[in-house]
Amino acid sequence: MIALVALLSAAAAPHTFYVRAGALFDGTGDAIRQNIVLQIEGDRIRAVGVPIPAGAEVVDLSGYTVLPGLIDVHVHLESRADHFEDIWTFRTSSPQGAMVAVVHARRTLEAGFTTVRDVGSDPFVAVDLRGLIEEGYFPGPRVVASGPCISITGGHCDLNNYPPTVRVSLFPAERDFAVADGVDQIRHVVRAHLQHGVDVVKIAASGGVFSRGDTPGAPQLSLEEMRVAVEEAHKGGRKVAAHAHGTQSIKDALRAGVDSIEHGTLIDEEGIRLLKERGAYLVGDLYNDDYILGKADELHIPKEYVDKERAIGQLQRENWGKAIRAGVKAAFGTDAGVYPHGDNAKQFAVYVRFGMTPAQAIRTATSDAALLLGREKDVGTLQPGRFADLIAVRGNPLQDVRVLENMTLVMKGGAIVKDARGK
């Protein structure tokens, strides 16, 4: 009987192995440590800086720099960067979006992003994707999922400037989850998002670049509507991300209590002060300006969208730099789907170009992003108790952050999902 109990206990013991890191950036500071060993037990880190027992299983990364798995807090996994022409609005079905999201999830994971926040998809593709990845149906990052972005009628997330006979319908109808006017409708729609299992609520405070007939800086949702959205989301334990390019919309969203400002393009000094006072995060998608303007002709991006990007893209970068110098909290979000999924790490170099040190830029995609998501006990750092989500790259990212654009090894939850050692 005793032997049987011992056998069962041994069978239930989690898989334990060791990772030997030649250099380690753990996501908590500014320094790289040399020759550090991590003990992995099951899907989590058991210890950091330990000796390797004789005969133990070892993943040898002694020739590489090891970092926490990266986090992108602004992606659209069902969106394709080659679908800019208006006609695709009517050719792309929700099932098609869900299927391409599976491919994009894998590309994103293999690029070293082991956690993402999907902030806008058909109802409720990101929620289902999250669950199926967790069940192991296919590989992908940990997904913090929103529903469709909530907009006013005629706003950034509505179907605008088509004849009144044009309709796009889904089951359930996307418009029923994406469009709301007045505090009562906002309250209902946010509650419906929570009903369907979202982790975060996304609202459109202002106009946008990739939306017909509106202006990025124009206010859309009112302060009162956003306050109700925040109230309902926070009561349900969810955070609120506000798409906000415009100066007034940024400040209204912050006064309403949102947790993050997405884009923040035309932020002014008062908006920066409010960000700091409220403890909200600025999510600056700075890389995609290069992609949009560089690919405008090749991808037949509508002239309206290109003109809007040309008008505000550089302003966004300059204002983001001012906010960073003022000490706002920032998280790494790229708007993946506007550019190809898997190229997320190209934004690090842009962050450095506009005012961050490499260490600061990496922390926006590790420990700082984890804090915004409320997942700091699970992801974002290489510390005991966190998931064994880690990456390995050749070279020193504190000297050249662009080395993060080429992953040698990616591990999620103790399982290696990409291994290019020796290639």
Residues 78, 45 share a domain: no
Query: How far is 362 from 351, CA to CA, in rounded Å?
Result: 9
Three-state secondary structure call for residue 45: strand
The DSSP bridge pattern shows strands 113-118 and 415-419 to be: unpaired
Domain coverage including residue 102: 70-373
Asked whether the whole model's pTM tops 0.85, one would answer yes
Q: What is the DSSP letter of 14?
A: P
Residues 282, 409 share a domain: no
Please report where in the chains the tokens 């600061």 appear, as a residue. Answer: 360
**CATH number, position 82:** 3.20.20.140
Give the number of domains in the chain.
2
259 touches 373 (CB < 8 A): no
Within 10 Å of residue 87's Cβ, how many Cβ atoms? 10
Rounded to 5 degrees, φ, ψ at 219 are: -65, 145
Query: How far is 381 from 3, CA to CA, in rounded Å?
Result: 40
Amino acid 320: pLDDT: 96
Q: What is the DSSP letter of 138?
A: S
Residues 65, 14 share a domain: yes
Query: How far is 30 from 22, CA to CA, in rounded Å?
Result: 17
Residues 305, 242 share a domain: yes
The token pair at 291 is: 């992609």
Residues 162, 306 share a domain: yes
Q: Annotate 304-369 with DSSP letters as a single string.
A: HHHHHHHHHHHHHHHHHHHHHHHT-EEE----BTSS-TT-GGGHHHHHHHTT--HHHHHHHTTHHH
Residues 211, 112 share a domain: yes
| Diameter over CA atoms, the chain | 77
Residues 193, 63 share a domain: no
Amino acid 241: pLDDT: 98
Query: How far is 404 from 397, CA to CA, in rounded Å?
Result: 7
List per-block mean pLDDT (blocks of 10 residues) for the chain, which spans 423 residues. 54 88 96 97 98 97 98 95 63 79 97 97 92 96 96 84 65 68 96 96 92 86 98 98 97 98 97 98 94 86 86 92 97 95 98 97 98 98 98 98 98 98 82
Residues 160, 107 share a domain: yes
Query: How far is 35 from 358, CA to CA, in rounded Å?
Result: 21
Residues 310, 291 share a domain: yes
145 touches 127 (CB < 8 A): yes
In 3-state terms the chain splits into helix, strand, coil percentages (rounded to 5) of: 35, 20, 40
Partnered with residue 387 across adjacent β-strands are 44
Among left, alpha and beta (phi > 0; psi -120 to 50; other), residue 87 is: alpha
Could you give the residue ranges of the DSSP H alpha helices within 205-337?
Answer: 223-235, 247-256, 269-278, 288-295, 303-326
Residues 175, 233 share a domain: yes
Query: How far is 200 from 119, CA to CA, in rounded Å?
Result: 8
Amino acid 205: pLDDT: 96
